[in-house]
Structure 1
Amino acid sequence: MKIDYTIFTQKTAIDRFIFAIENGYYVEAHELLEDDWNMYKKQGEKEKALVLKGLINGATALALYHIKKRPHGFDKVWPAFIKYIPLLDEVNFEEKDKYYKAKEILLNLNSQI
């Protein structure tokens, strides 16, 4: 099933990511932060890139579990979220509270598994 990305009308990538994970669009959420992740990597902002890698992997893990029906894949990918998300406390993002919100949503969704 192809998704119409026009449903993601939020202004920023993190806003679109939050909307996606709140609404079960885990595969799409993965894609929504990739441009920012690549930008931070190219700019040498390793910690910011790793935070986004963690969020991306959190959404990917949920996609593997809920959509792909591959709990074994979930078990392999979720630890990357756990590994990188503590870096959120060390980096400065604009609207950093939204990144914390995304983290909390992912943790909450995981706790329901």
Structure 2
Amino acid sequence: MNNKKPIDNFIEALQEHKFVEAHEILEDDWKTFKKQGLKLEAKAIQGLINGATALALYHIKKRPDGFKKVWPVYLKYKPLLTNAKINNKNRFFYACKILEEKKEELTD
């Protein structure tokens, strides 16, 4: 049984270029924060989801125009992590680092 936290599974999926799967991994956390009215936390998670989606659009679906529309959403919401009340926040910041490394690796 996988006892890892969703953010750890998200990071692992990113590292393996499984960007569609990464997107799905954080969906439940995003929905939970949304339902609880925790907008800041929901938007912070949404940013990570959009980062993975953007990479999927570019790398897997070969849609660079889609990437150009979605990646800025990740960048817009990334700063929200600073004030979000999320457990293991350092892992979320690490996920941002991985997203940005993958973006550089795949788009340059």
**TM-score bin (small chain):** over 0.9
Displacement of 1:10 in angstroms is: 5.2
1:68 matched to 2:76: no
Cα distance in 2 for partners of 1:29, 1:19 equals 8
For normalisation by structure 2, the TM-score amounts to 0.94
The unaligned stretches of length 5 or more in structure 1 are: 1-5
1:58 matched to 2:43: no
Matched AA of 1:16: N
User: Partner residue of 2:97?
Assistant: 104
Matched AA of 2:100: L
User: Partner residue of 2:41?
Assistant: 48
- SS of the residue corresponding to residue 44 of structure 1 reads coil
Residues 21, 106 of structure 1: 8 Å contact kept: yes
Deviations 1:43-86 (A, max 9, x none): 01101000110000000000000000000100010010001010
For normalisation by structure 1, the TM-score amounts to 0.90
Corresponding pairs, count: 106
1:36 matched to 2:24: no
1:80 matched to 2:73: yes
Residues 21, 59 of structure 1: 8 Å contact kept: yes
Structural RMSD (CA): 1.2
The unaligned stretches of length 5 or more in structure 2 are: none
User: Partner residue of 1:3?
Assistant: none
User: Partner residue of 2:9?
Assistant: 16
Displacement of 1:92 in angstroms is: 2.1
Identity level (%): 52
Residues 10, 16 of structure 1: 8 Å contact kept: no
Structure 1's 10 and 78: CA in aligned 2 closer, same or farther, altered over 3 A?
Answer: farther
Matched AA of 1:84: Y
Deviates more, 1:47-56 or 1:89-98: 89-98
